[in-house]
Amino acid sequence: MAKNKTQPTKASVATFLAGIDDPEKRRAAKKIGAMMRRATGKRAKLWEASIVGYGRYQYRYETD
């Protein structure tokens, strides 16, 4: 099976969010992050350089 191109990193999500220049966008991102954590029960993880994810899901295709 092929490996996904997008992989989780050990980079800090908090540092990534703190680096958002626009204060309104930064506040909104942190608020959404808190809502996602409550909804999923998972901690945020940074994927590649700029994707914040919560948990994993593996898609299955008929061709697999």
Alpha-helix runs per DSSP H in the chain: 13-18, 23-40
Block mean pLDDT (10 aa), the chain, length 64 = 83 96 98 96 94 88 76
pLDDT, position 64: 58
Q: Which residues fall within 8 angstroms of residue 13, CB to CB, at 6 or more apart?
A: 33, 44, 45, 46, 52
0.75 exceeded by pTM: yes
pLDDT, position 48: 92
pLDDT, position 1: 64
Pair 4, 45: CB distance under 8 Å: no
Q: Six-digit token pair at 22?
A: 């626009």
